[in-house]
Structure 1
Amino acid sequence: MATSHAAPTAGANGSQAKRAMNSKNFGATFAPGFTINVNANKTNNGVAAVANGSGANGRSSAEALLPAPEFTSPAQVRNYCNSLRAAAVTLSIEVAMGAEIMKGVLAAVPDPEGRPFGSRARAAKVARKMQKSADALRDAAKNAAACYSTFQQQYEEEINRVRHRARRPQQPVMNWAQQ
């Protein structure tokens, strides 16, 4: 079986790089199987374009994950905390998956010193930092839920005062006609 010794070119999906990694004569022709995207800002009439990630409503994509931080009612506090919790849980899962994928991709890179399991150890060391980010996002979700719970405990008197005023208990009505 003949293998190609030519340097792999950048394919759309990195398949040529993967073939090079899987060949027995790996050599110095490494091209990673992942893509790095670079955004370049163009200038129009000498004015630089600014890439701020804003959507149609003028808010950035990060701001679109959460409602506006207006805390003028218990419902708004609950909505903000629930939105933060949901976003943090979703991001935590995505980042944890990214860490596992990164570990798998980097483990395929041969160790330069030829140590057994050296590539896996290096990959785990790098991916551990991303896994810590996923753990921090999971903790942020827990703290967002705890925030609303603490809000309810600390402001229970005020919440109940308004709640009872809004829903007055009905007094039993005496029906004199029924005898």
Structure 2
Amino acid sequence: MATAYTAPGSGANGSQAKSAMNNKTWFAPGFTVNVNANKTNNGMPAVAGGANGRGRAEALLPPPEFTSPGQVRNYCNSLRAAAVTLSIEVAMGAEIMKGVLAVVPDPEGRPFGSRARAAKVARKMQKSADALRDAAKNAAACYSTFQQQYEEEINRVRHRARRPQQPAMNWAQQ
């Protein structure tokens, strides 16, 4: 049978925990975060270098080879998708950080001081999320600008690449 963990010396009514909070030295988030977790694929542990021996950051994007409009589009779309995903993750992390830090008592005992300190810290992480969102917008705008600036060259190649039109059968003409 599982029993709940209680700190050594804690009373049944929680008087020890209350005094620890009043001493303003107590901090324990309501959850644990495992930073060093390795993902597994089909039961095999993940390779430290990431996909194809590349690091994790490089695995998010294709190689920066811009020898065709398709490669430019692929790179910009990959960058946009990665930045949007990271923006959402970082914004969520900022909210979680704000919630966790808000329960840390203020050392000076100011009312709402712990919330203000938590908001000040989380605001910097929220700015990071906003910057990632802006990076996603700029990646999409990059490809749009590429299309505008090189429209003539793209259309010239597109025109050549089209198949010649097959003559249509005119059934009315006999």
Q: Same fold (TM over 0.5)?
A: yes
**Normalising by structure 1, what TM-score?**
0.74
1:104-137 Cα offsets, whole Å, 9 max, x none, are 0000011111111111100000000000000000
- Deviation, structure 1 residue 168: 4.2
Aligned CA-pair RMSD: 2.7
CA apart distance, 1:3 = 2.0
* AA matched with 2:13: A
Flag the 1:87–1:135 CA change in 2: closer, same or farther, 3 A. same
Which one of 87, 90, 94 corresponds to residue 85 of structure 2? 90
**Aligned pair 1:78/2:89, yes or no?**
no
Aligned residues: 151
1:65 aligns with 2:69: no
2:27 pairs with 1:31: yes
Structure 1 residues 143 and 77, CA, compared in 2 at 3 Å: closer, same or farther?
Answer: same
Q: Which moved more, 1:161-170 or 1:146-155?
A: 161-170
CA distance in structure 1 between the aligned counterparts of 2:14 and 2:84, rounded to whole angstroms? 45
Deviations, residues 43-92 of structure 1 (Å, cap 9, x unaligned): xxxxxxxxx94125110011100001111111110000000000000000
Gaps of 5+ in 2: 1-11, 37-46
Instruction: Determine which of 99, 102, 107 is the counterpart of 2:102.
Output: 107
Give the Cα–Cα distance (whole angstroms) in 1 for the partners of residues 143 and 164 of structure 2. 27
* Alpha carbons of structure 1 residues 112 and 72: separation in structure 2 relative to 1, 3 Å: same
**How far apart in 1 are the matches of 2:65 and 2:165?**
34
Matching residue within 155, 161, 165 for 1:160: 155
Q: Work out the CA distance in 2 between the residues paired with 1:131 and 1:67.
A: 27
Aligned twin of 2:116: 121
- The residue identity in structure 2 corresponding to 1:137 is L
Conservation of the 8 A alpha-carbon contact between 2:101 and 2:115:
yes
Structure 1 residue 169, shift from structure 2 partner: 4.5
- State the distance in 1 between where 2:108 and 2:157 align: 70
Q: Distance in 2 between matches of 1:94 and 1:38?
A: 15
Distance 1:36 1:113 in 2: 29
Query: Percent identity over the alignment?
Result: 84
Match among 113, 123, 129 for residue 134 of structure 1 = 129
TM-score of the two chains, using structure 2 as the length reference: 0.76
